Amino acid sequence: MWRSSCSIIYGSSCSIIYGSSCSIIYGSSCSIIYGSSCSIIYGSSCSIIYGSSCSIIYGSSCSIIYGSSCSIIYGSSCSIIYGSSCSIIYGSSCSIIYGSSCSIIYGSSCSIIYGSSCSIIYGSSCSIIYGSSCSIIYGSSCSIIYGSSCSIIYGSSCSIIYGSSCSIIYGSSCSIIYGSSCSIIYGSSCSIIYGSSCSIIYGSSCSIIYGSSCSIIYGSSCSIIYGSSCSIIYGSSCSIIYGSSCSIIYGSSCSIIYGSSCSIIYGSSCSIIYGSSCSIIYGSSCSIIYGSSCSIIYGSSCSIIYGSSCSIIYGSSCSIIYGSSCSIIYGSSCSIIYGSSCSIIYGSSCSIIYGSSCSIIYGSSCSIIYGSSCSIIYGSSCSIIYGSSCSIIYGSSCSIIYGSSCSIIYGSSCSIIYGSSCSIIYGSSCSIIYGSSCSIIYGSSCSIIYGSSCSIIYGSSCSIIYGSSCSIIYGSSCSIIYGSSCSIIYGSSCSIIYGSSCSIIYGSSCSIIYGSSCSIIYGSSCSIIYGSSCSIIYGSSCSIIYGSSCSIIYGSSCSIIYGSSCSIIYGSSCSIIYGSSCSIIYGSSCSIIYGSSCSIIYGSSCSIIYGSSCSIIYGSSCSIVYGSSCSIIYGSSCSLCFSSI
């Protein structure tokens, strides 16, 4: 049947329907429907539907739907849907959906969804979702989600989520999350989270978190956290934290913290801290701290500190400090200090100090005081300069300079400079410079520079620069730069740059750049760039770029690009582009474009374009275009266009 116009084909057997317009194909057997326009295919058996436009396929059996545009596939059995645009697949059984754009898959059974863009998968059973972009997976059962970008997984049961980017996993049951990037895991039950990057795990039950990077674990129950990097563990119950790096453990109950690196343990109850490195233990109850390295123990109750290295023990109650190395014991009550090395015991009450090496015990009630050796201190007020080689310390107020080699410290107020090699610190006010190698710190006010290698910090006001390697920080005001490698930060005002590797941040005002690898951020005003890998963000104004990998913004998976000005979004998967000004969106999969101004949307798959101003929509597949102003819609497939211009 070639280039015909038929209203109804009923109970017929047709080999090829080519370039025809048919309203209803009912109870028929058709081998090929090619380049045709059919409104309803009902209870029919079709082998191939190729490059056709079909509104409804109902209760039919189709082997291949290729490069077609179908609005509804209902209660049908389809083997392959390839490179097609389908709005709704409802109660159907599909073996493979490949490189297609589907808005809703509802109550269907699909074996493989590969390289497709799906907005909603609801109450469906899917075996494999591979390299696809899905906005919402709701109440579905999925065996494997591999290398896909999913915005929300809600109340679903997933066996494996592998190398995928998911924004929210809510009330779901997942067996394995492997090498994936997840923003929020909320009220879910996960057996293994392995080598993944998760921003928030909230009220969830996780058996093993292994080699993963998690920002917040809140009110969750985790059996083992192994070799992972976690920023905050809050009000959670964890049995074992092993070989992990945790920034804050707050109000949590942990049985064993073993060989881990923790910055703050606050108001928590920990039975054993073994061979770990902890910066602050605050208001916590710890039974044994063994062979660990702790910077500050504040207002805590510890039974035994054994063979550990602690910088500050403040207002704490400790029964035994044995064979440990402690820098400051301040206002604490200690029963026995035995065979330990302590730099300062200040205003403390200690019953026995036995076989220990202590530099200064000040205003304390102690049995033994063991002295230090210093070269020159001139017109300065310094509490401790211990085993250091200093040429001139002039008119400075320094609390501790320990094991350091300093050429000139002039007119500065420094609390602790520990194990550092500094050429000139001039007219600066620094609280702690610890294990750092600094050439010049000039006219700066720095609270903590810890384990850093800095060439020049000039006229800057920095609160904390921690474990960083910085060549030049010039005329900047930075609150925290933590574990970062930065070549030049020039004339910038940055609140937090955390765990980042940045080559040049120039004349920028950035609130938070967290866990990012950025080559150049130039003349930009950025509020939050979180867990991103960006090559160039140049002279841009970006509110939130969250967990994205952006070159200019290219081939990325982004949950929110909000109120931003972006030149090119190319081959990216974005859930929401809100109130943004974008010149080109090319070959991308976007769920919602809301109140945005876009010049060209080319070869993209977009579910909703709402209240936006678009000049050209070319060769794209859009489900809903609502209340938008579009100049040209060319060669595109759109299901609904209403209230638009």
**Are the CB atoms for 405 and 389 separated by under 8 Å?**
yes
Of the ranges 77-91, 452-466, 488-502, which is most confident?
77-91
Neighbours of 358 (CB within 10 A): 23
User: Which of 536, 629, 553, 542 minimizes the C-alpha distance to 587?
Assistant: 553
Please state whether beta strands 109-114 and 93-98 pair in parallel, antiparallel, or not at all (unpaired).
parallel
Indicate the range of 93-107, 169-183, 238-252, 453-467 predicted with least confidence.
Answer: 453-467
Neighbours of 585 (CB within 10 A): 30
**Are the CB atoms for 383 and 344 separated by under 8 Å?**
yes
pLDDT tens figures, 27-57: 877 888 888 778 788 888 888 888 877 878 8
Checking if the pLDDT of 368 tops 50, the result is: no
| Higher pLDDT among residues 606 and 382, named by residue | 606
User: Which of 388, 448, 394 minimizes the C-alpha distance to 421?
Assistant: 388
User: Which of 338, 325, 249, 251 minimizes the C-alpha distance to 292?
Assistant: 325
Residue 299: burial class (beta carbons within 10 Å; 0-12, 13-18, 19+): middle
Tell me 376's DSSP state. -
Checking if the pLDDT of 88 tops 80, the result is: yes
> Element (H or E) spanning 33, and its range?
strand 29-34
Domains of the chain: 372-467 (2.160.10), 554-645 (no CATH)
d(CA 612, CA 579): 8
Q: Provide the edge-to-edge strand list for the sheet that holds 421-426.
A: 389-394, 405-410, 421-426, 437-442, 453-458, 469-474, 485-490, 501-506, 517-522, 533-538, 549-550
Exposed e or buried b for every residue in 501-510, given b needs 16+ CB within 10 A? bbbbbbbbbb
pLDDT tens figures, 90-107: 887 787 888 777 778 888
**Are the CB atoms for 429 and 443 separated by under 8 Å?**
no
pLDDT category at 341 given cuts 50, 70, 90 is low
Tally the residues of the chain.
645
